[in-house]
Structure 1
């Protein structure tokens, strides 16, 4: 009995000492590792020092067509690349895992005249699989289902805000993407997540992506490496893109 009492007393003293230690600031201070230094851009939308430039307006050398990996047939004009009708989808030659992506895009002035579905219609595909929709959703004037509006993960979620600018004005997406992870047997260990800012306004907040985009049917995951390209959709509309950069996370 005395031995048990002695052990309990020692435990109480230890806990008391432990609690006392946490009253000292140094106990909770972690000094290493230090974060790497990243120099921010000096202009809005500019690339920080550790970013990979995917398109700076000078050439399209980092891009290729998704079907045959041929050189881009999109129009390069005034520092932008424009999705000419019938030229097909582009993707980066590089592949990425989790990342921060900045993309600027501009709706054609005649998007409302052309109308749905080809008026001001495009998309940014993460890993070539998960589409952040681009659509002329300015003022909700063009009728389209809510989970197909600009800022949605296409047919998976309605954006929490519509911050789209009118055709002819440059919009921006800042996309924060966490790549999915798969188990050895191909099942999903952790799904992909995405947060999206449109023109500085959060429109998706850590949304759990349900799987590869499906126009018809239910999305699902299929095993892959967890890396993939960035792809831009050509959907019969001359949407323009500029100032595209990415940071590995």
Structure 2
């Protein structure tokens, strides 16, 4: 005799635990304005959603680019003496993909969680054996890049950063933050570097389970585009 098992199968499927969806990437810059971002000192801010590119020979004198209806502005710190900018949203473990352009002699930084800096500076042409903890791609004051993967000032460059946040239990830190991998222009600069403490010049000067993405804006002009933050679920 033929028997239908469909109801039992449906019931069994209904009892299975739901599978969590993979985290969706976050693009914090809307390519229109600074909505979703906060400023450390609004009066000093030089940040703009900017329709210009910077002249690498004269970083304090931006020059206008030819724009078409499909172009979008970049997130730009237009001059030195400004202030830091950071996302309203906070993050923990992430993969950060970001393109940046730094003019000749300029200096900025990308701070994971607002506290752990990957240096952004014009280091083009510097020999590998002369690289320091202050050159492009350095984990500031912690680790110099393995090699100089810098492009010329005024050219777009790209970081891909896999980052693990510090761990806390009962309000006490039980594991350090870690740069799992830092890649600049397809060249690996760092792997599995622990951060025993926050970088000087961070947003709060304190470590926490989550924090915003911050860009340094008090040293010099810099431009960012194609910013993508993907939260990462770490398997235990």
What TM-score, normalized by structure 2, do the two folds share? 0.71
SS at match of 2:125: helix
Structure 1 runs (4+) deviating above 3 angstroms are 32-38, 70-73
- Aligned mates of 2:19, 2:186 — CA distance in 1: 29
Q: Which runs of 5+ in 1 are unaligned?
A: 1-31, 39-49, 112-118, 216-220
> Which of 148, 154, 165 is equivalent to 1:168?
154
User: In 2 relative to 1, CA 151–223 (structure 1 residues): closer, same or farther, beyond 3 Å?
Assistant: closer
> Which of 31, 39, 48 is equivalent to 1:57?
31
Structure 1 or 2: more strand by fraction: 2
Deviation at 1:204, TM superposition (A): 1.0
Structure 1 counterpart of 2:194: 208
1:111-167 superposed Cα distances (whole Å, 9 cap, x missing partner): 2xxxxxxx22000011111100001011117xx860111111101011112111101
User: In 2 relative to 1, CA 247–169 (structure 1 residues): closer, same or farther, beyond 3 Å?
Assistant: same
**Larger Rg belongs to:** 1
Mapping for residues 75-86 of structure 1, pairs under 5 Å: 75-78=48-51, 79-83=73-77, 84-86=79-81
User: In 2 relative to 1, CA 128–223 (structure 1 residues): closer, same or farther, beyond 3 Å?
Assistant: closer
SS at match of 2:142: coil
1:189-245 superposed Cα distances (whole Å, 9 cap, x missing partner): 111111111011111112111211137xxxxx9553x10000000133111111111
Structure 2 counterpart of 1:247: 230
> Which of 113, 130, 139 is equivalent to 1:127?
113
User: In 2 relative to 1, CA 175–33 (structure 1 residues): closer, same or farther, beyond 3 Å?
Assistant: farther
Deviation at 1:72, TM superposition (A): 6.1
What TM-score, normalized by structure 1, do the two folds share? 0.68
> Which of 104, 107, 126 is equivalent to 2:102?
107
Mapping for residues 60-99 of structure 1, pairs under 5 Å: 60-67=34-41, 73-78=46-51, 79-83=73-77, 84-99=79-94
- C-alpha RMSD over aligned residues: 2.6
- Aligned mates of 2:110, 2:213 — CA distance in 1: 7
Does the CA-based 8 Å contact 2:96-2:229 persist in structure 1?
Answer: yes
Structure 1 counterpart of 2:54: none
Q: Which runs of 5+ in 2 are unaligned?
A: 1-16, 52-72
Structure 2 counterpart of 1:28: none
